[in-house]
Structure 1
């Protein structure tokens, strides 16, 4: 229980409050000042806009901190199952506070931004994070899973561009679409083989046995649930990206033919 006491509990509460403040107060004011198109949006679009601003801020914070931990945190690198890191606990607590805040927003504005897959995603991640904070185990794994958030800013940016009615073939849309597909694949799909390979390699070891049935089942089940959704989203994103690139190629080919006729 010591792993959950102290700073992580305070960080979790602070994270929840900050993201509630960001969603309800800061995003509407800053967005209106930064983006002229925000003021002309419907109330429903503004709700989703504010939700995605909070999502982007959360992703950048936990993703960047997660990268630092992944490369430089000696305790969890040396012992991925039982390494104890205050930075990991802080990162997991920040993510947990955001997830609770976003779940509340989903429930309050269900008709606008409600999504059953997001509820499953958030609840699964929250349960897994609670096991990490309470038992103190699997901190490296929890932080590794948080690296998946590095794809979210591109996903949200795609929605912002569409909402502001940027042309589908504009440079901003095309570049962001390619980066979104690449980032999503790298941090969510390509990360699967090493994750499950490591899981298989430690089964039967003393460190794995120390986890106990609850942590073992949580590790396997939460990864499976989240990765099934990641694969579903990857398929959808890939189809959209390929469709845009194909249409863009056809458009360029058509333009070349027209130019040839003019010559």
Structure 2
């Protein structure tokens, strides 16, 4: 495992950059979109700032990892060693952010429960190994690609913290987008990941890489899979509720349009 100055710089940018977004940018940007921010209690403002920081990080990691997936030809399930600069620097940025968010979680325990704490600890390990190692970069990138869901998850959390109406169209749309992206980035890849990992093991290549990468690529992914399936139970209920809400809003809108049309004809 080798680390270069650019990897450490990416990690530092993830750590310091996200803390600056939390401390300085969010308190100035969020009120421009949602004036209700100023009326929130201090604890809620802190929560909104943390959510905005998490969402900002997830946009960067999501874009970078999916660009790597579609543009870097060497990112293949059979590739044992390849120094993918984009994946390693994205992992470094992710690692730096994870440290910052874990620090905030320690300072403000109400940010998350024990499951979020476990999630962050495993993320720290996976992020560091993805930054420091050149082994199985395809599988490292799959971990990062899960961030596709998080811009929508964090935006929904922020709307809820700001007291935005849960029956609004914006709220309903975020629920649908979470459901769709959860399938694309977290549930759909599970059998594909398992198949390619089994193939890698059957050829013996898997056992040539470092033990730390072996454990993380199997146990780490199994941990995230369990979490993703557990959270998906909540998302299904959310999706059903939002679809019903969108249908009701559609019926209400159609009814209003019909009433306006009839009133114009009557006039």
Distance 1:133 1:153, change over 3 A: closer
CA distance in 1, matches of 2:67, 2:184: 17
- The aligned residue for residue 221 of structure 1 is 219
Q: Is the 8 A contact 2:68 2:86 kept in 1?
A: yes
Q: Is the 8 A contact 2:48 2:162 kept in 1?
A: no
Aligned-pair CA distance for 1:246: 3.8
Secondary structure of the structure 2 residue equivalent to 1:144? helix
Distance 1:173 1:76, change over 3 A: same
- The aligned residue for residue 186 of structure 1 is 184
CA distance in 2, matches of 1:76, 1:56: 26
Aligned-pair CA distance for 1:156: 1.5
Distance 1:255 1:73, change over 3 A: closer
Alignment coverage as a number of residue pairs: 256
TM-score by length of 1: 0.88
Q: Is the 8 A contact 2:149 2:178 kept in 1?
A: yes
Q: Is the 8 A contact 2:77 2:136 kept in 1?
A: no
- The aligned residue for residue 6 of structure 2 is 7
Q: Is the 8 A contact 2:52 2:158 kept in 1?
A: no
Secondary structure of the structure 1 residue equivalent to 2:80? coil
TM-score by length of 2: 0.87
CA distance in 2, matches of 1:164, 1:109: 18
- Which range is displaced more, 192-201 or 209-218? 209-218
- The aligned residue for residue 240 of structure 1 is 238
Q: Is the 8 A contact 1:148 1:187 kept in 2?
A: yes
Distance 1:71 1:114, change over 3 A: same
- Which range is displaced more, 64-73 or 24-33? 24-33
Distance 1:20 1:164, change over 3 A: closer
- The aligned residue for residue 145 of structure 1 is 143
CA distance in 2, matches of 1:242, 1:92: 34
Q: Is the 8 A contact 2:47 2:161 kept in 1?
A: no
Aligned-pair CA distance for 1:39: 0.7
Deviation per residue, 1:41-82 (Å, 9 max, x gap): 111111111111111111110100111100111232385331
Distance 1:49 1:137, change over 3 A: same
Aligned-pair CA distance for 1:251: 8.2
Distance 1:63 1:206, change over 3 A: same
Structure 2 gaps, min length 5: 259-267
How do 1:155-166 residues align onto structure 2 when only pairs under 5 Å count? 155-166=153-164
Q: Is the 8 A contact 2:173 2:242 kept in 1?
A: no
- The aligned residue for residue 79 of structure 2 is 80
- The aligned residue for residue 37 of structure 1 is 36
CA distance in 1, matches of 2:16, 2:145: 23
- Which range is displaced more, 84-93 or 199-208? 199-208
CA distance in 2, matches of 1:143, 1:38: 36
How do 1:1-263 residues align onto structure 2 when only pairs under 5 Å count? 1-2=1-2, 4-77=3-76, 79-110=78-109, 112-246=110-244
Secondary structure of the structure 2 residue equivalent to 1:80? coil
Structure 1 gaps, min length 5: none
Q: Is the 8 A contact 2:149 2:182 kept in 1?
A: yes
